[in-house]
Structure 1
Amino acid sequence: MRPVYVAGVGSTTFGKHLDRNLRSLGGEAVAKALVDAGIDRREIEAGYCGNALGAMLQEETGVGQHVLWEVGMGGLPIVNVENACASGSTALHLGWQGVASGQYDAVVVFGVDKAVMPKGTPLKVGAAEMEVRLGDLFPGYFAMVAQKHMEAYGTTLEQQAKVSVKNHDNGCLNPYAEFKKPLTVEEVLASPMIADPITLFSCCPNSDGAAAAILCSEAVVRRLGKPRVRVAGSVLATGLYDNQRDFSHWEIEEKAVAKAYEQAGVGPGDLSLVEVHDAFSICEIVHYEGLGLCARGEGGRLIDEGATAIGGRIPVNASGGLLAKGHPIGASGLGQIAELTWQLRGEATGRQVEGARVALAQMMGGSKEADARACNIHILIAE
């Protein structure tokens, strides 16, 4: 497998875009990535689109073709990917495979979704038999994660609230973020209860948005003269679903990140910053542990110490994360890649992590039993 580089990235703002469709949002992100890379669209040999909700909410399929036609790109192989919240990062993984294998020299990968719906419209966990019988919704599932982690390790409501406070502070520094208003621990805890112990301000918003990246070979990135950000690790994993009782960790994440660290030749101690799937504040604490940033049960201590803040030992979600930046489902994984690429190039004005060299993106999708259906880990290294 040969080296793969991120030559350019682009993103819309995340939030409510009621007057725009999938093609418009996706087209903006792709166009920005092409300009950022300085590459002619005719050099792109394949496209990979992550979209989770188009068929369900907009009754639109073949989203990748629609988006690329929006920017005048046709006649190339286009793959549409649906893998729940991991749709965009799975598209990235497939694009990485295409370049790493030598099949292509330059591809575009992008994610796009419109997830803003009328108030009160539920999104079920999925069609898994047990969950549907129980009428499980996402807040309920993650409330069980929070309850189990609190019971097992003494994690507190205040520690969970601090995650939301940190990420909303970071969101205030990010021009692409949906929420740019700081919160206090007291405000998070006093916000309306959604699913005990998860309150409103401990939940991410469903958002509209798109993000894209241009992946290319070493020869192409050298010719373009772009900063060298290498995709050193790319892993897609599916859960074993044999952990049906312990909601305090995700086995799929622990196994995926171990493989990614081995692939990239780095460990958790080498990371400069991390972006994770913080759909609810408890998620980030569990991810600290699953990614090896601390031992199991010590995630609450990490947030108490300020280790994951910008300027801390290992900043997590400098972008604001899903909690503040927003969660346009199929676009979120590539939104992480855009943020980390800017960070590794020293271009994240106002929220820059000094000396950033090695970055990790973690994204999960769906749930089944006490595990996730999909987990992507990507490790980027500035060369």
Structure 2
Amino acid sequence: MAKNRVFIVGVGMTRFEKPGARADWDYPDMVKESGTKALEDAGIGFDLIDEAHVGFMYGESTSGQRAVYGLGMTGIPITNVNNNCATGSTALFLAARAIRGGLADCALAVGFEKMQPGSLSTSYTDREQPLMRHIQAEAELFDFAFPPAPWMFGAAGVEHMQRYGTTTDQFARIGEKNHRHSVNNPYAQFQSEYTLEEIKSAKMIYEPAQLTRLQCSPTSDGSGAVIVAGEAFVDAHGLAGQAVEIVGQAMVTDLESTFTDNSAISIVGADMTRHAAFEVYDQADIGPEDIDVIELHDCFSVNELLTYEALGLCAQGEGGKLIDTGDTTYGGRWVVNPSGGLISKGHPLGATGLAQASELTWQLRGTAGKRQVADACQKSGVALQHNIGLGGAVVVTAYRPAER
């Protein structure tokens, strides 16, 4: 069956903020800001949007409608999306599928989060928790620690150290890199540079992996928005010069290997990522060597290193070498998380995947300012996005400029 081409024609986001930093800033305000920016970027009105997919994790059932009504009330279908930390990219995945399948000419993916300070918590205590199977499986391998999220990823890091000789300094250098990148990102929650020693001496969160606060993504408020359209819409509105094509996209949920590998690395999603990435490489006819810039899900520094390997940037066990050689920063083979990543930019769960897509759109357009990756804005530029939510889902997306 023939599939339509899908293009990003407009992006927008708010600055990511510490929860409660702006007392008068509620989620409809966030979405109005990010969505208006995306519409203005595309140069179109809300009346041309055929459907909207709205991502959030913490909120009431129809918060998506309430959020989008600030942009317009035209009676379009509005879908509320919740897929843990992969919520934003899942909204984008659904919007792109509508275009690809010919069900819409132009669609909006928008995500937001208004979070409580501190570690993530559950909303309901009278039913099975979605991550309970993952937590129980990992507790058979490593002693449980609280909070669960840094324990799960931190324990995966300990496993990597035991198997391959990876060092805690290599994890810490990822935190140092991403904070350094964020200095040039006006949308980032944190824009401070830290020395390696400052990263290592920050508040300890998970001691076995020496995972400190400056290697962990913070809770955040904020929103991101992306407008996707088909080829006929792009041509009709003269948007080819700014359009970015989605040339490959895959969503993968947990596989049997998540639980049968007896591996913390698999439990936190490495196999999901690997399957999604290589499906995207096949769709786009590219390999890791063709990519210029990557935004990946560094919820913790450990996960960035694990994801290097799952994306095929290096062989299994060699992620630490990419850090040692500077291959994942400016001047290296790839620039990973030029935005500062989740660690420094922030992580409002429903908005994260759409902020990643916005950053990569700016990179491929050549409009990323001081954080611009030189090769990304060339005609041959290729960008890759990775967004993961435990419990579980991974969305990997590859992008190219529509024209130069």
TM-score (norm 1): 0.93
Alignment of structure 1 residues 128-207 onto 2, 5 Å: 128-130=131-133, 137-196=148-207, 197=209, 198-207=211-220
SS in 2 for 1:379: strand
The letter for the 1-side match of 2:165 is G
1:26 pairs with 2:31: yes
The match for 1:370 is none
**Candidates 9, 14, 17, aligned match of 1:15:** 17
Q: Distance in 1 between matches of 2:96 and 2:227?
A: 10
Q: Is the 8 A contact 1:115 1:208 kept in 2?
A: yes
The letter for the 2-side match of 1:358 is V
Deviation at 1:68, TM superposition (A): 1.2
Unaligned 5+ runs, structure 1: 55-59, 368-372
Q: Matched residues, percent identical?
A: 39
SS in 1 for 2:375: coil
Q: Distance in 1 between matches of 2:131 and 2:337?
A: 30
Deviation at 1:120, TM superposition (A): 6.3
**Candidates 363, 380, 384, aligned match of 1:360:** 384
Q: Is the 8 A contact 1:149 1:247 kept in 2?
A: no
Alignment of structure 1 residues 336-347 onto 2, 5 Å: 336-347=356-367
The letter for the 2-side match of 1:378 is T
Against the structure 1 CA distance between its residues 282 and 126, is the aligned structure 2 distance closer, same or farther, given a 3 Å change threshold?
farther
SS in 2 for 1:70: coil
Q: Distance in 2 between matches of 1:2 and 1:131?
A: 37
Deviation at 1:194, TM superposition (A): 0.9
1:127 pairs with 2:146: no
Q: Distance in 2 between matches of 1:111 and 1:286?
A: 26
**Candidates 53, 59, 74, aligned match of 2:58:** 53
Unaligned 5+ runs, structure 2: none
SS in 2 for 1:355: helix
Q: Distance in 2 between matches of 1:247 and 1:360?
A: 25
**Candidates 357, 369, 383, aligned match of 1:349:** 369
Q: Distance in 2 between matches of 1:129 and 1:230?
A: 38
Q: Is the 8 A contact 1:16 1:116 kept in 2?
A: no
> In the comparison of the two structures, how many residue pairs are matched?
372
Q: RMSD of the alignment, in Å?
A: 1.7
Alignment of structure 1 residues 1-383 onto 2, 5 Å: 1-16=3-18, 18=20, 19=23, 20-54=25-59, 60-117=60-117, 119=118, 122=121, 126-130=129-133, 137-196=148-207, 197=209, 198-226=211-239, 227-244=242-259, 245-249=262-266, 250-356=270-376, 357-367=381-391, 373-383=392-402
Deviation at 1:169, TM superposition (A): 0.6
Q: Is the 8 A contact 2:47 2:74 kept in 1?
A: no
Instruction: Render the CA deviation track for 1:197-243: whole Å, top value 9, x for unaligned.
Output: 21111111011110001100112112332323101111111011434
Deviation at 1:127, TM superposition (A): 3.1
The letter for the 1-side match of 2:163 is A
- Between 1:276-285 and 1:71-80, the stretch displaced more is 71-80
Instruction: Render the CA deviation track for 1:169-216: whole Å, top value 9, x for unaligned.
Output: 111110000111111111111112111221111111011110001100
Instruction: Render the CA deviation track for 1:330-366: whole Å, top value 9, x for unaligned.
Output: 1100000000000000000010001211101000002
